[in-house]
Amino acid sequence: MPAQPDSQAVKAYLTDLQERITNALRATDGGAGFRQDSWERPGGGGGRTRIMQNGMVFERCGISFSHVHGTQLPPSASAQRPELAGRSFEAMGVSLVAHPQNPYVPSSHLNVRYFVAEKADADPVWWFGGGFDLTPYYGFDEDVLHWHRNARETCAPFGADLYPRLKQWCDEYFYLKHRNEPRGVGGLFFDDFDQGGFDHAFALMRSVGDHYLPGYLPIVNRRWAKSYGDRERAFQKYRRGRYVEFNLVFDRGTLFGLQSGGRTESILMSMPPEVSWRYDYHPEPGTPEAALYERFLVVKDWLAGEGDDQRPSAPGQPKNGDSG
């Protein structure tokens, strides 16, 4: 008999995930630590937001757990499944965005979430969603290769076809249509996922959550002490503008949070603290800034030609390539 949805098991995993990531990022930063805000949603539920600002490594890093419920799904949640409009809902998840101080350290994003839509005269409909992606300001092949090898390992227990599917989904989702460019170098994304039954889908969500730190921390440790100047900082602020544009125009999680009456400060914690826009800016040819557009902001198969036995490098142990 198929396993029944177990919201309490999902909640226990998510609260533990927030705790584990908080502890790891606090140790990595070694500076300001996290402020915590517990909040309640007037329509039902609440959450726990943790935010770090002006740390030694992270200029802003937020990780939030939320568990909300209501009598009617917001439009952003039923847009892909219009037959569910009008159902009551329960939604929970962990969302993280890290914006480092050093322009040579990429920003990163993680989200894992669970939805249940219910109706009195019908079985509950549930699904999982989430993923992670990487947004560099200055590109390094070894960082991107490590990130995607880790993403492939995330998917490995679920079949060889899953990584290409979730990578393509990520490439298509984290795409700024008005700029005709991806937000970064991609990763994994999935939504409305109930394939294989509850246990199988829940295991995929856990694998995504558990593989975030092994994917991101080696890159942070490799780059955070690299020297930089005003030029790199100005370019970082300019490129952060793309992050803002995506989150406010396209991101389903942001829209769901705002439409469902969530806590605005927690929803918008993903925004970088300092951003700039320049009119009709184009980097000088041959510069590292131009290389970001030419080599890294291009949708492609980074692991083409690699065998399935590749594994991510261990933290602090870069593979061959630039380690500066």
Q: Return the sign of the alpha-carbon dihedral for residues 162, 164, 167, 168.
A: negative
From the candidates 109, 200, 211, 282, which is the catalytic residue? 109
Task: Report the C-alpha gap between 126 and 91 in whole angstroms.
Answer: 10
Q: Is 113 annotated as a binding residue?
A: yes
Q: Got the DSSP string for 240-254? A: HHHHHHHHHHT-HHH
Looking up tokens 């539920």 gives: 45
Q: Which residues are within 8 A (CB) of 204 and not within 5 positions of it... i.e. 6 or more apart?
A: 128, 155, 158, 162, 190, 193
Cα 220 to chain centroid, rounded:
15
Residue 152 annotated as lining a ligand binding site: no
On whether 180 is known to bind a ligand per the annotation, the reply is no
Residue 67 among the catalytic residues: no
According to the annotation, is 69 in a ligand binding site?
no
Contact 316, 221 (CB under 8 A): yes
- Report DSSP letters for 207-242, one per residue: HHHHTHHHHHHHHHHHHTT----HHHHHHHHHHHHH
Residue 227 assigned to a binding site: no
211 is in an annotated binding site: no
The answer to whether 10 is a known ligand-binding residue is: no
286 is in an annotated binding site: no
Task: Report whether 68 belongs to an annotated binding site.
Answer: no
Determine if residue 111 is labeled as part of a ligand binding site: yes
Catalytic residues, which ones? 109
**Which residues are known binding-site members for substrate?**
95, 111-113, 261-263
Binding site members for a divalent metal cation: 99, 109, 148, 178
Known binding-site residues equal 95, 99, 109, 111-113, 148, 178, 261-263
